Amino acid sequence: WRLGLPGCERAREQGKFTCYSAAVGYDKIQSYVATERLLISIATEPDWVRDMYETDANLAIEMYEVMKEGGFEFDGVWLFCDLGYRNGLLFSPRHFNEQLRPTFRRLFDHFRGEGMPVILHSCGCVRDLVPYFIEDGLTCLQPLEVKAGMDLIELKKEFGDKLAFMGGIDVRTMADPDPSVIEEEIKTKISFAKKGGGYIYHSDHSVPNNVSLDRCRRVLELVRKYGAY
């Protein structure tokens, strides 16, 4: 990671927002023990699951401390943990509350105690967890996957005074042959979401390979047109 220090310093000198990033929680652990095993264990071995979540959180915090001592300066923290799929959560809100939520709360508390906002990346339909995220101190939620029912405008209406949002622009509209489709998507959503602050542009998922470079440039032009504060 020391090889990244000059790049981090250069980015901050240029006024860019630098983040300490870490995969955490369910999404991290399922890459170790396999998805099926973890999902079964959430129901049958909760103590083991909690221990894995906490141990991994310790690692994320300790790695941050090592990098800070090594000269890195960060403006924010970006945590990654996919908790949903297209139709809902990967496990129940009860299991989230009992097993993962204490770990999230500790991570949010630690990094906000360092004076940094905390962004959480969580794909899928995670609408039912938003109140918990807010209560536990999350700053910003990303990416707001449209096809999973994460509606930027509705989320802004309900939670915009308590939580910032990043994303919610449907990548499928970027690929539409009619250029007016993506303009309407950006104009409608960003114009609303930026009211009062608390919105950062981002696509709601990875940009598909059928989106041309020219279309990507056009998207950025539209973001600058409708998204400037």
Q: Is residue 89 part of a domain?
A: yes
Residue-range definition of the domain harbouring residue 103: 2-142
Residue 126 is predicted with a pLDDT of 98
Three-class SS of residue 22? strand
Residue 190 is predicted with a pLDDT of 98
Q: How many domains is the chain built from?
A: 2
Instruction: Say whether both 109 and 208 belong to one domain.
Output: no
Instruction: Say whether both 70 and 9 belong to one domain.
Output: yes
Structure tokens at 109: 């508390």
Residue 60 is predicted with a pLDDT of 98
Answering whether pTM is above 0.85, one says: yes
Residue 100 is predicted with a pLDDT of 98
Yes or no: say if 100 and 26 are a contact pair by the CB < 8 Å rule: yes
Q: Is residue 76 part of a domain?
A: yes
Structure confidence by residue, pLDDT tens digits, 7-41: 999 999 999 999 999 999 999 999 999 999 999 99
Dihedral angle at the C-alpha atoms of 148, 38, 134, 11, nearest 10 degrees? -80
- 35: CATH: 3.40.50
Q: Is residue 164 part of a domain?
A: no
Yes or no: say if 123 and 145 are a contact pair by the CB < 8 Å rule: yes
Q: Is residue 154 part of a domain?
A: no
pLDDT tens sequence for the chain (229 residues): 778 999 999 999 999 999 999 999 999 999 999 999 999 999 999 999 999 999 999 999 999 999 999 999 999 999 999 999 999 999 999 999 999 999 999 999 999 999 999 999 999 999 999 999 999 999 999 999 999 999 999 999 999 999 999 999 999 999 999 999 999 999 999 999 999 999 999 999 999 999 999 999 999 999 999 999 9
Q: Is residue 65 part of a domain?
A: yes
Yes or no: say if 151 and 204 are a contact pair by the CB < 8 Å rule: no
Q: Which residues pair with 141 in a beta bridge?
A: 120, 165
Instruction: Say whether both 132 and 175 belong to one domain.
Output: no
